[in-house]
């Protein structure tokens, strides 16, 4: 990831920092990221951002551990994006590619 790059979403940098620290092992960094996010978006945004982070913590485990493939319509529409982001190199990509 390039932290200097503007991702085009308001306060995207703060959201990225929160997403990284909420599942990381640096509690002080999380506390800092949470405070910055609350200052920028309001205290009510914290539970929403935490809920989404938790939900995808769940979904990533469900997807990887149960070995589900990406559904064909999504696969077709994301070829360029997957290449750009290096997603095809993930080990879990095999759960899709072994069926092709």
Partner 1 sequence: MNANVMNSTVIEMALYKDSEFPVRADLEAAHQAQFDRFGQPGTWGSGAQRIAVIAAARQACIDAGVIEASEDVGATSDVDLPKVVRDVIATVAVSPKDVDLNFYGAAIGGGLTDAEYTEIVGLVSFICNLDVFARGIGVTPRKLPEPQPGEPSRLRPPEAVQEHAFVPTIPNPPEGGGRAKAMYGSFKPYIMRAMSLVPDEFADHIALERAQYLPLEKIMEFEFDYHDGLTRPQVEVVAGRVSALNDCFY
Binding site for partner 1 (CB under 8 A): 7, 9-12, 15-16, 18-20, 22-25, 27, 30-31, 34, 38, 41-71, 74, 85, 87-88, 90-96, 98-99
Q: For residues 61 and 49, give the distance between their C-alpha atoms in angstroms, rounded to a whole number.
A: 19
Cβ proximity to partner 1: between 76 and 99 the closer is: 99
Smallest gap from Cβ 1 to partner 1, in A, equals 8
| Residue whose token pair is 């390039």 | 2
Smallest gap from Cβ 90 to partner 1, in A, equals 4
Any residues with CB less than 8 A from the CB of 4 and at least 6 apart, and which? none
Tell me if 33 sits within 8 A of 3, measured CB to CB.
no
């Amino acid at each position: 990831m390039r932290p200097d790059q503007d991702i085009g979403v308001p306060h995207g940098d703060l959201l990225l920092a929160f997403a990284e620290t909420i599942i990381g092992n640096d509690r002080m960094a999380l506390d800092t990221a949470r405070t910055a996010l609350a200052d920028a978006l309001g205290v009510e945004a914290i539970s929403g951002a935490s809920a989404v982070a938790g939900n995808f913590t769940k979904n990533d485990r469900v997807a990887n551990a149960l070995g589900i493939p990406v559904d064909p319509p999504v696969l077709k529409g994301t070829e360029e994006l997957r290449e750009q982001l290096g997603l095809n190199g993930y080990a879990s990509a095999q759960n899709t590619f072994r069926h092709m």
